[in-house]
Chains A and B, each alone.
Chain A
Amino acid sequence: MAANGHSGGGDRPMDTVSGRFSPEAVAELEEIVSHYPDRRGAMLPALWIAQREYGGSLPAEAIKEVAERLGCPPVEVEGVASFYTMYNLGRRGRRHLEVCTCLTCAVLGAADTLRALEEKLGIKVGQTTPDGEFSLAEVECLNWCEAGTVVQVGGRYFGNVTPDKVDALVEQIRQIQDTEAVTQADQIVKVQLARRHDGTADG
């Protein structure tokens, strides 16, 4: 299934909730709901599904749709979503670059890497490029310190990123679909779904 190729159109889900979840997304949600004793348990996965269905972010309609599908008040969904850093409630780029500047990366020169990325992308930390392609952030330990400085883009980690490697890195990132926020959300959903009849398929 395409990451977000099924969100528009007249293909409405077979239930009464209005929103952008495709029938496949609704089926995924229901499978995940069955892992928990109540629907609320599926809150985090539901937000991941929503982040994919809404193209990489969680606008107010996405929060509302999750609330309806799980049967809890939108303010609670919003409260949960805002607690976690990986849900995108603001406006990040299609590819969100996160540079670790925590302990090990810091002593290995993360600040220089960050500066080089700012220069290469023409934006500061916290900003998004005018074309909406890239945004840049500083994050705490990504727990791959052996490869410091570590940069995460979507579902991919890049290690040993020194300033001289930044040009090549940005070009590489453009070529990899996994680096898109929407693909990351899709893959995070997929790893929570069983594939019992095909135990050997690659994720």
Chain B
Amino acid sequence: MGELRVLFEHRDVPGIERMDVYESVGGYQGLARAVTMSRADVIGEVKTSGLRGRGGAGFPTWIKWSGIPADQPTERYVVCNADEGEPGTFKDRELMLRLPHMVVEGLAIAGYATNSSTGYIYIRGEFLESARAVRRAIDEAYARGYLGESVCGSGHRFDLHVHMGAGSYECGEETALMSSLMGERGQPRAKPPHAPLPVISGLWQRPTLINNVETYATVPHILARGGAWYASMGTERSKGTKLFSVSGHVAKPGNYEIELGTPLEELIALAGGVVGGDLKAVIPGGSSVPILTAEQCRGVKLDYESCMAAGTMLGSGGFMAFNDRTDIVKLMHVTARFYAHESCGKCTPCREGTRWMYRIFQRITAGQGRPEDVDLLLSICNNIDGRSYCPLGDAASWPIRASIQRFREEYDYWIEHGRSPVGDDSVPGIG
């Protein structure tokens, strides 16, 4: 199957980040077509496409869009989640850097479809280079009338602002992101059944649409070429293409766009194959998803349903491959440190549980593991999973639990011998 480039079709065209070049390859045609259609028809096109959110959860995009009460006399907001922080993921960074106009175009279409006149793109503070490209694209789009008072002469107003983050993984969670955008600590807010969804009451208690960078960047293609065309790619329930950020022990790490449903092994081949040894494990969708053994990877297809059936998730598309010199316990030590560090502290199971797990990993990889530690880790996972206020807690427990279920012998070896089963000291156990 190989690569199938829709978003990346013109990624390597010199100057594609600039307006004139982007327009010369068909840029802003999707927006131009959208504004000639009714709002309902624009959303209908997105529905036909089968597009699902690319930020991690895979939620059908059109359902969110149609949930915005577009006719009520209130302000509405469109937000782009560009806080990319899931370890292993770097697709949004490149999309904004190389194809900023595609993101701006998608946001302008969303503004029109939901009858919103204000948009924010929340970019993580570290991504200055990407933010500069987005800034320039926005300025160019205003100059050309794609943003501002009358988008493409439609009479619909849409202003787009850049909002820079300041360092916090939790701000990628949509309600925490909204807290942060409103000038607060990046902690999540109540969701159903305790509070209405953001599409009803989000930013400043007004209807708010929030999608990922890649989700918005896909929309112009759907409007320009039709939802049915988009839906002709992919599988029954996972339509279209997806960007995967491939890193780890591969010869050619980078972002690859493939049709959903492409075999996992093919993505590894695209990235030049495994280096430094044989394949030992894969984390296919960012640090929050369960790790697969090389054995489990065989025959797995990269779409939402197949990944689920294989005991993992597609997530954000942060695909990490590890060779057989990798110490899984140390890898999970780093994972546990990440979540302990990033837990926002709002709820007890996650705040305490992530720190406790991290301390146990420190002790195991210092050669001081106790026989009961593995069961203790499992029981902490069970106490966090499903009991935390937001999905970060769940995400902290899944990879650890899966690693114990799938690489138990490595934990036992560490605890019995006080040293690494692979004799590898390249993964740090930094405290």
User: How far, in angstroms, from A44 to B123 measured CA to CA in the complex?
Assistant: 12
The answer to whether B87 and A141 have CB atoms under 8 Å apart is yes
The answer to whether the Cβ of A195 comes within 8 Å of any Cβ in the partner chain is yes
The reply to whether the CB of B155 lies closer than 8 angstroms to some CB of chain A is: no
Closest chain A CB from B94 CB (angstroms):
9
Contact: A140 with B169, CB < 8 Å?
yes
Q: For the complex formed, measure the closest distance between the CB of B332 and the CB atoms of chain A, giving whole angstroms.
A: 10
Which residue from A70, A145, A191, A202 sits with its C-beta under 8 Å from B245? A145
B342 contact set on A, CB distance < 8 A = 140
Looking at the complex, which of B8-16, B159-167, B373-381 is the stretch in contact with chain A?
A: B159-167
Question: CB distance B135 to A191 under 8 Å?
Answer: yes
- Bound state CA distance, A134 and B162, in angstroms? 30
| Stretch of B232-240, B350-358, B422-430 with 4 or more beta carbons under 8 angstroms from chain A | B422-430
A25 contact set on B, CB distance < 8 A? none
Within B395-427, the residues touching A (CB, 8 Å) are 426-427
- Is A29 engaged at the interface, CB distance under 8 Å to the other chain? no
Which residues of chain B come closer than 8 Å to A166, judged between CB atoms?
none
Q: Say if the beta carbon of B131 comes within 8 Å of chain A.
A: yes
- Please state if B182 and A199 are interface contacts (CB–CB under 8 Å): no
Known A102-B334, A103-B335, A106-B334; judge A37-B84 contact (CB<8 A).
Answer: no
Q: Nearest Cβ in chain A — how far from B88, in angstroms?
A: 6
Minimum CB–CB distance from B55 to chain A (whole Å) comes to 13
Question: Is A146 interfacial (CB 8 A cutoff)?
Answer: yes
| Distance (whole angstroms) from the CB of B103 to the closest CB of chain A | 14
Do the beta carbons of A87 and B166 come within 8 Å of each other? yes
Instruction: Establish whether residues B184 and A107, one from each chain, have CB atoms under 8 Å apart when the complex forms.
Output: no
Contact A142 B164, CB 8 Å, known A44-B180, A103-B88, A106-B428: no
Q: Which of B142, B204, B283, B428 contacts A196 (CB 8 A)?
A: B142
- Flag whether A155 is at the interface (Cβ < 8 A): yes
B138 touches A194 (CB 8 A): yes
Closest-by-CB residue of B relative to A76 is B184
CB neighbours of B138 from chain A (8 A): 194
A:70-89 near B, CB below 8 Å? 70, 79-80, 83-87
Contacts of A87 in B (CB 8 A): 166-167
Which residue in A37, A146, A194 is a CB contact (below 8 Å) of B204? A37
Q: How far is the CA of A197 from the CA of B428 in the complex (A)?
A: 50
Given contacts A38-B204, A47-B166, contact A146 B128 (CB under 8 A): no
Whether A101 sits at the interface, judged by CB under 8 Å, is yes
Which residue on chain B has the smallest CB distance to residue A35? B161
Given A80-B183, A83-B185, A104-B320, A152:B126 Cβ within 8 A: yes
How many residues of chain A have a CB within 8 Å of chain B? 61
Q: Are B326 and A191 in contact (CB under 8 A)?
A: no
Quick one: which of A108, A114, A188 contacts B128, CB cutoff 8 A?
A: A188
Docked Cα-Cα span, A155 to B283, in Å, equals 29
Contact status A44-B253, CB under 8 Å: no
Assembly CA distance A22 to B203 (angstroms): 31
List residues of chain B with CB within 8 A of the CB of A142.
126
Are A194 and B142 touching (Cβ within 8 A)? yes
- How far is A43 from B181 in the complex, measured between Cα atoms in Å? 8
CB-based contact B85/A42 at 8 Å: no
B164 in contact with A104 (CB, 8 Å): no
Interface residue B212 (Cβ < 8 Å from any Cβ of A): no
Are B426 and A107 neighbours in the complex by a CB distance under 8 Å?
Answer: yes
Residues of A within 8 A of B139 (CB): 194-196, 198-199, 201
A37 neighbours in B (Cβ, 8 Å) = 75, 204
Q: What CA separation (Å) do A86 and B180 show in the bound complex? A: 14
**Docked CA distance A52–B318 (Å):** 34
B427 contacts A107, CB within 8 Å?
yes
Q: Is B143 an interface residue (CB 8 A)?
A: yes
> What is the chain B residue whose CB lies nearest that of A32?
B161
A144 to B140: give the CA distance in the assembly, Å. Answer: 27
Within 8 Å by CB of B143, from A44, A143, A152, A199, lies: A199
Shortest distance between the CB of B370 and any CB in chain A (Å): 24
Q: How far does the alpha carbon of A46 sit from the alpha carbon of B161 in the complex, in Å? A: 15
Q: Does A203 contact B (CB under 8 A)?
A: yes
B interface footprint on A171-203 (CB within 8 Å = 1, 0 otherwise)? 000000000000010011011101110111111
Verify A83–B168 contact, CB threshold 8 A.
yes
Residues of the A chain whose Cβ atoms lie less than 8 Å from the Cβ of B338: 102-103, 140-141
Q: Which 7 A-B pairs rank lowest in CB-CB distance, beginning with the nearest? A: A43-B183, A111-B428, A85-B167, A84-B166, A86-B167, A141-B87, A145-B247
Query: Which residues from chain B sit less than 8 Å from chain A, CB to CB?
Result: 19, 75, 84-90, 92-93, 120, 123-129, 131-132, 134-136, 138-140, 142-143, 161-169, 180-187, 204, 245-249, 253-255, 283, 287, 318, 320, 322, 326, 330-331, 334-335, 337-338, 341-342, 344, 426-428, 430
15 sample A-B contacts, Cβ–Cβ < 8 Å, listed by A number: A41-B182, A42-B183, A80-B184, A83-B186, A102-B338, A111-B430, A141-B85, A143-B90, A187-B132, A191-B128, A191-B162, A195-B139, A196-B142, A199-B19, A203-B135
Q: What would 10 more interface pairs be, CB under 8 Å, given A110-B428, A196-B142?
A: A41-B182, A83-B168, A103-B331, A106-B428, A143-B124, A145-B245, A145-B320, A148-B253, A184-B128, A199-B143
A contacts, CB < 8 Å to B: 35-38, 40-45, 47-48, 70, 79-80, 83-87, 101-104, 106-112, 114, 138, 140-148, 152, 155-157, 184, 187-188, 190-192, 194-196, 198-203
